[in-house]
Chain A
Amino acid sequence: MKPTLIRNLKRDRTYFLLLAPVLLYYVLFKYVPMFGIIVSFKDYNLFAGVWESDWVGFKYYKMFFQNPDAYDIIKNTFVLGIYKVVFGFPAPIILALLLNELRWKAYKRFVQTVSYLPHFLSAVVASGIIIMLLSPSTGWINHVIQSFGFEPINFLQKASWFRTVYISSEIWQEIGWGSIIYLAALTAIDPQLYEAARIDGANRWKQTLHVTLPGIAPAIVILFILQSGKILEFGFDKVYLLSNAATYETSDIIATYVYRMGIVQGNFSYATAIDLFMGVIGLVFVYSANQVSRRLGETSLW
C-alpha cells in the first residue's frame, strides 16, 4: 500500500500540472521578492549587493518613528483607506442591485458597459482627465458651478478637497467593474424565493431587503474581508499624480512617502522598512476582519 500523498499526487496529476504555472508565478513574483525585505535591516548599497551591506538592526524603523511627519503620513493612509472602504465598498453593491431591478435588458447592458469602461483607463490618463475637468480657470465642472452663480472651487489645491476628489474618482473608475461579482452572485439566487415572497405580499423593496441581500451576503462578506486587507493598499500612481504642494497635508500617504524616500532619494533600506511595517499592519487587518466574520456568521476565508 502506497502512502496517501504519493497516491493522491498520482491520481490528480493533471490537476497538479494545471496548478503548476500559477504556483510558479507566486513563487517567482510574490515570494522571491520578499527576500528583499532583509535590506530594511541593512544599510543597503545598490552596488555592494544585499549580502555585502552592513546590518543596522532597527535603525530605519526608529528613523521613521522619529520623523515628525510619521504620524500625519500614517493617519492620512488610514483615513484615506477607511474612506475608500466606507464609501467605495457599498457603491458597486448598490449599482448591482439597481441593475438587477432593470427590466429593459438592452439598457442594462449599455449601463454595464459604460460603467466598466473607466476601469481600463490608466491612472495617468484618469488623473489627466480629472485635472482638466476640475481646473478652476478652464475646467468644465467649474464652468457648470459658475453658471449656477457660485464661485469656482479650486478642488485640487485645497487639502480639504483631496480625499473627496480621490474617493469619488476611485468610485467612478471601479464601480462598474466591482459590480460584476455581485451581478454573478445575483443570478445564483433561486427564483422560487422571489415567487414565494411575492405570494406573501412582499413588494420590490421588501424583496430586495429579504431575498436579494441575504442571497448575496456571502459574496459581500468575502469581498469585505479581502478589501480590509487592502485598506492600506492604494493605486499609488493616482494619489501621486493628483497631489501637489498645497494638498500634502492630506495627500501624503505611506506609498508616496516611500516613493520619495526610496526611489527619488535612493534610500532603499528606509523605504523597505516603512513598507514592511505597513505590510504587517495590513495582515493584522485581514486577520481581525476574518476573526470578526467567523464569530458573527459562518462565512470566513479560512
Chain B
Amino acid sequence: MKKKTTGRSAAGLLVASALTAAMLAGCSSNNNNAGASGSPAASPSATASASGSASAAPSAGLPEPAKISIFTEYSNAWPPKADWGVWKWVKEETNITVEQKTSTTTLPSEALALAVSSGEMADVMSVFPGDVVKFGSQGAFLDLSKHMDKMPNVKAYLDSHPVIKMRVTQPDGKILNIINDGAGAGNQLVWFYREDIFDKNGLTPPKTWDELYTTAKKLKELYPDSYPLVFRHGLGTLSIFAPSFGVLPEYQKDPATGKMTYGPLNPNYKKMIEYLNKFYKEGLFPPDWLSMDYKAWTQFMATNKSFISVQYIGQIETMNNQLTEGRLKFMPPPLGAGDKAYLPQGGYEDYGFAVASNTKNLDAALRYLDYIYSEKGRDIQSWGKEGETYTIVDGKRKLNDVYKESNDLRRVSGILSAGTYGWFDFEAPLSLIKESEREAYIESPKYQFPVSNTLPILSKEETDSISTQTDAIYKYFSTSISKFIMGETPLAEWDSFLKELDKYGLQKVLQTYQIGLDRQNASK
C-alpha cells in the first residue's frame, strides 16, 4: 500500500521517465556506435549526384544505399503513406531509403519535444525556429555550419537567401536548422466571403471593420441561426485581425522606432478588441470560438451557418469544392485603424530541417539535405517526374489528372507536405488552381504587412533568463484578451491590464529581444 504515499502528478512521472529514458539512451549510445559502422555509410563523394546533370540511367553513379528516418508533422488531411512518390524519388536520386516518423499529436512541436526529451530523435527532423531555440542550445541538433563542405547545394541556397541565412544563424555563429522556402504562399492567411449570399441580399464586401460589423449584423437578422463570421484558431486568429489594425498580436518590431515592442501597447490594439467584444456580445461569431477545430469550422461553412471567414488561402478552393451551393470569394482585408488594411506577412516559411546531434547516419542525412535544397531536388520534389506525374503540353508542364487540387499533391504523392522538400517551386500547385480561384493568389500579395512576425534569435542564456516571464506573460495575455472579448472584464480596465503586464516582466522580455535585434542588425 506504500505506492500511493507520494503525490506525484502525471506530468511529473512523464518528466521523470523521460529523464530516465534520456539517461539510458546516453548509456547505450557508445555501444551503438560500433554497430553503426556495419550499416552502409555513404561516401563523402555522394553529393555529386545532385549536380543537376540529367543522367540517362538513374542507377548510374548513385552513392551506396543508406537509410534515414525523418520526423514530420501528421495531418489528417493527407495521412502519410510509405509509397508516396516523394520518398520514391528520393530513393531514385540519392539511394536513400526514408522512414517517415510522424508526429504523435496534432501539435508537431509538442511531439518533437517528447521525442527529443526521450532521446528518440529521428536522423532528420522537421523543426520550427522555436524548437531550435529550445533544444538547439542543449545540443540536440547538429551544427550544420561545420558540414557545409559536404552540402554545396545547401551552402548555395543559404547564400542566395540572405534573409533565411540571418534567421538560422545563431548568436554564436552556429547553424542548427535550415528554413524552407518557396511554399510560403500557401501559408498566407486571407479573408473570404460567400459571394452568392452577399449578392442575393444586395450586400457588398465590407471595406472597414465598421462595415464588417453592419454587414454581419444584417446577415444575422436575415439568418438568425447563423454566426456570420467564423474562425477556428481561437486567439491565434488575432494574427490575421491585428494587421488590419496596423499591429501584430504579440512581440514585434515597431516600424516607426525600429525597437522591439508588444502589440497590445499600441492604442489600435484596444480598438480591435472592442470590435471583437461587440461581435461576441451580439452573437456574430460562434460563442465556442476558443475550442473550435477544423471539423467544426467546415461544418459552419458547409451548412450555411457562416458567410465570412479567415483561413489559409488554399481553403477557399477546398471549401468551394465541398459546397453544394454557393461560392466563396477572396475579400480584401477590412480596415480597422491606420491608413491601409493589411494581411499578415506571408510568403515566408517557418518550417525547416535539423539533423539530430546523435545521428548514426550522418552522411546520408547530409546527403538528403543537400539533395532537397539543390535545383534538381527542388524540381523533382515539387513536380515529380515527367511521364510519371506530369506531361509536357505545348512546352508547359501539365500535372496528371489524378491531381485535381493542390491538396491532392499532398494526399497522393506527398508533394508539399512537411519534411519532403526544402526549396519548393510553387508553380506546381499553382498550375492546378482553376482560373476562377487564382484571384486570392494575385490579390493577397498587395496587402502584405510590412513587419514580419519572426523574432530575433536569442542565445541560450537570454532564452533561459526570460522563460518563466514569457510563459507568465502569455498566460496573462491570453486570459485577459479572451475575457475582454467575452465581456467578462470591461474594456475600461484595459489600462490596468497593460500596467499589470509589467509586473510579469514585460520590460525585461522586450529588452532581451532588443539585444537580439541589435545583434542581428549589427551583423548585417
A and B: bona fide binding partners = yes
Chain B residues near A46: list those with CB within 8 A. Answer: 22, 116-117, 119, 135, 138-140
Residues 385-415 of B contacting A (Cβ, < 8 Å): none
| Interface pick from B150-158, B185-193, B315-323, B468-476 | B468-476
Decide if B1 touches A255 in the complex (CB within 8 Å).
no
| Interface pick from B37-45, B194-202, B287-295, B431-439 | B287-295
Residues 1-58 of A contacting B (Cβ, < 8 Å): 26, 30, 32-37, 39, 44-50
28 A-B residue pairings within 8 Å (CB atoms): A26-B3, A39-B19, A44-B19, A45-B139, A46-B138, A47-B26, A50-B19, A131-B291, A136-B286, A136-B288, A137-B286, A138-B296, A156-B291, A158-B488, A245-B234, A245-B290, A258-B11, A260-B471, A263-B14, A263-B113, A264-B109, A266-B116, A268-B19, A271-B15, A272-B15, A278-B9, A286-B4, A301-B1
Instruction: Identify the closest chain A residue to B470 (Cβ).
Output: A265
Query: Taking beta carbons and an 8 Å cutoff, which residues of B are in contact with A?
Result: 1, 3-20, 22-23, 26, 109-110, 113-114, 116-117, 119, 134-135, 138-140, 227, 234-235, 286-288, 290-291, 296, 299, 357-358, 464, 467-468, 471-472, 475-476, 478-479, 481-483, 486, 488, 503-504
Decide if B11 touches A263 in the complex (CB within 8 Å).
yes
Chain A residues near B481: list those with CB within 8 A. Answer: 245
Knowing A47-B138, A47-B139 are in contact, say whether A157-B7 is a contact too (CB < 8 A).
no
Decide if A262 touches B5 in the complex (CB within 8 Å).
no
Knowing A68-B504, A266-B116, A266-B138 are in contact, say whether A275-B468 is a contact too (CB < 8 A).
no
Decide if A282 touches B7 in the complex (CB within 8 Å).
yes
Decide if A47 touches B140 in the complex (CB within 8 Å).
yes
Known: A32-B20, A36-B20. 6 other contacts (CB 8 A): A47-B357, A49-B26, A152-B287, A260-B471, A275-B15, A283-B5
Chain A residues near B10: list those with CB within 8 A. Answer: 233-237, 255
Decide if A255 touches B12 in the complex (CB within 8 Å).
yes
A285–B139 alpha-carbon span in the complex (Å): 40
Q: Tell whether A117 is near chain B: CB-to-CB under 8 Å.
A: no
Decide if B7 touches A259 in the complex (CB within 8 Å).
no
Contact count band on A: 35 or more
Decide if B8 touches A279 in the complex (CB within 8 Å).
yes
Knowing A245-B482, A301-B1 are in contact, say whether A34-B138 is a contact too (CB < 8 A).
no
A35–B20 alpha-carbon span in the complex (Å): 8
Chain A residues near B16: list those with CB within 8 A. Answer: 33-34, 36-37, 272, 275
Instruction: Identify the closest chain B residue to A160 (Cβ).
Output: B488
Interface of B is mostly: helix
Decide if B4 touches A226 in the complex (CB within 8 Å).
yes
Q: Per-residue CB proximity of A279-302 to B under 8 Å, as 1/0?
A: 101110110000000000000010
A259–B471 alpha-carbon span in the complex (Å): 12
Q: Please give the distance in Å from B129's CB to the nearest CB on chain A.
A: 14
A260–B234 alpha-carbon span in the complex (Å): 19
Chain A residues near B14: list those with CB within 8 A. Answer: 236, 259, 262-263
Chain A residues near B287: list those with CB within 8 A. Answer: 136-137, 152, 154, 157
| Interface pick from A90-98, A207-215, A246-254 | A246-254
Knowing A49-B26, A279-B7 are in contact, say whether A263-B15 is a contact too (CB < 8 A).
yes
Decide if B5 touches A286 in the complex (CB within 8 Å).
yes
A230–B3 alpha-carbon span in the complex (Å): 11
Decide if B15 touches A246 in the complex (CB within 8 Å).
no
Decide if B12 touches A261 in the complex (CB within 8 Å).
no
Q: Tell whether A231 is near chain B: CB-to-CB under 8 Å.
A: yes
Q: Tell whether A256 is near chain B: CB-to-CB under 8 Å.
A: yes
A110–B467 alpha-carbon span in the complex (Å): 52
Decide if B3 touches A263 in the complex (CB within 8 Å).
no
Indicate which residue in A67, A131, A136 contacts B468 across the interface (CB closer than 8 Å). A67
Knowing A152-B287, A264-B110 are in contact, say whether A137-B5 is a contact too (CB < 8 A).
no
Decide if A68 touches B472 in the complex (CB within 8 Å).
yes
Chain A residues near B299: list those with CB within 8 A. Answer: 138
A39–B287 alpha-carbon span in the complex (Å): 44
Q: Tell whether A229 is near chain B: CB-to-CB under 8 Å.
A: yes
